[in-house]
Amino acid sequence: MNVERDTVSLGSFEFESGETIPELEVAYEAYGEFDGDNAVLVCHALTGSQHVAGQHEESGTAGQARAWWDDIVGPGKAIDTTEYYVLCANVPGSCYGTTGPSSINPETGEPYATDFPAVTVGDWTEAQRGLLDELGIPHLHAAVGGSVGGMNVLEWAKRHPDHVRRIIPIGAAARLDPQVLALDAIARRAITTDPNWNGGDYYGEDHPGPEYGLGLARQLGHIMYLSKASMERKFGRRSAGRDAARWFPEDPAASFFPYRDVESYLDYQAEQFVDRFDANSYLYLTRAMDSYDLSAGFEDDADALAAFDGEALLMSFTADWHFTPAQAEALAESMREAGVDVAHHVVDSDHGHDAFLVEPENVGPPLASFLADGVDGTAVTDTADDVDEESQYAPVHTSLFSD
């Protein structure tokens, strides 16, 4: 697989907030060969990177060694790099090569820290459009993304409706609900109340950084990404092994009680995460996700998508309470109202929000069919009559998912 890894400077960049930085660098990876009409943009999720597929010969893309969607992107896979030119760009505000809070401000010679402008999903989209312009890619065959990456995809249809033919938001919605907003707020407060956050100025050898705060934020995230059924299956109430080491400080009484598998898992995830991600970036990116509203600037969601005359495939997962099937169906209904040719496919899964990452056998077939043939040639069930508006569950099955 032909892989291109590079960083492109877009020069001075103005954010939606009205603030400007002198130079925005965008890190990206691209796979396959561009033939003028086969570009597929993959939009990564919250803490993902541009390293979407393949092997990285060094320690990983800016710290993320494992390609996050390698089961979906590659030769002969659902997003086939022998057919499509696949591009993934790290978003502004992140810490994997694109300019963000941990980047050096050329005007001061110091990290931006919290002087970095607030970022929005719209800013991500405009940075991606700028990157495509630099690479000589006038339009997209498709844009696909999961979670907040799906919101990024929706913003492409809203801002650049003439430049993308097909969109595939997976495990996404037009906006977050209050429960998720509340949990994200707690995650941010875990970071900003860590004494080592130091007002965001923790860069350099003399500052350890808010490791416990960032670790707690990551643990909350993992709980949101899993379902009750998947947590019961993975952990139950089992105690961790004798060799399991606690990462967080514990109260004196803790030694009397079992240290459970689920605690050990969360501690491991936190410890690994703080080694690869920046706390300020976590604050910036969750703010961008929480503030996203497809209808902003328009009367409603349908009005926001009225100019898009392409096709859409929405995918949701029955046990996902972060972005529910009911939210996806509301989005699909807005698309129908706007005249968009859309299919909404609900995957029967108990994995929760993580299903779009861990179930390639369910995500891949409808995705591949839609990329090749659009809605008419895609063997998925349009769920307009199947999603119960009073419930997040929609038990829809198709032959694609039979054993």
Kindly report, residue by residue over 53-104, the tens digit of the pLDDT: 987 654 444 556 689 999 999 999 999 999 999 999 999 999 999 999 999 9
Q: What's the pLDDT at 3?
A: 92
* Exposed/middle/buried for residue 134 (C-beta within 10 Å: 0-12, 13-18, 19+): middle
pLDDT at 124 over 80: yes
Rounded CA gap, 324 and 223, in Å? 15
354 CB-side CA count, 13 A:
15
pLDDT band at 246 (very low <50, low <70, confident <90, very high): confident
User: What distances in angstroms separate CA 392 from CA 22, 331, 345, 348, one per listed residue?
Assistant: 45, 14, 14, 12
pLDDT digits (tens, 9 = 90+) for 291-305: 999 999 999 999 999
Query: 152: closest CA among 174, 137, 177?
Result: 174
Q: What's the pLDDT at 65?
A: 61
- How many DSSP H helices and E strands does the chain contain? 11, 14
Rounded CA gap, 173 and 353, in Å? 12
pLDDT digits (tens, 9 = 90+) for 314-349: 999 999 999 999 999 999 999 999 999 999 999 999
pLDDT digits (tens, 9 = 90+) for 138-171: 999 999 999 999 999 999 999 999 999 999 999 9
pLDDT digits (tens, 9 = 90+) for 343-352: 999 999 999 9
Q: What's the pLDDT at 388?
A: 45
* Residue 222 host element (H or E): helix 211-225
Q: Which amino acid belongs to residue 179?
A: Q
Rounded CA gap, 42 and 323, in Å? 19
pLDDT digits (tens, 9 = 90+) for 179-228: 999 999 999 999 999 999 999 999 987 888 999 999 999 999 999 999 99
Q: What's the pLDDT at 205?
A: 79
pLDDT at 385 over 60: no
Given the structure tokens 């328009």, which residue do they identify?
A: 298
* CB 363, CB 170: distance < 8 Å: yes
Q: What's the pLDDT at 63?
A: 56
Give the residue numbers annotated as catalytic, written as ranges.
147, 320, 353
pLDDT band at 397 (very low <50, low <70, confident <90, very high): very low
Q: What percent of the chain has pLDDT over 90?
A: 82
pLDDT at 386 over 60: no
Q: What's the pLDDT at 241?
A: 77
Sign of the Cα pseudo-torsion (138, 144, 146, 151, in order)? positive
What average pLDDT does the structure give for the chain? Answer: 90
Q: What's the pLDDT at 249?
A: 85
**Overall average pLDDT of the 356-363 stretch:** 94
Rounded CA gap, 18 and 33, in Å? 37
Rounded CA gap, 5 and 242, in Å? 43
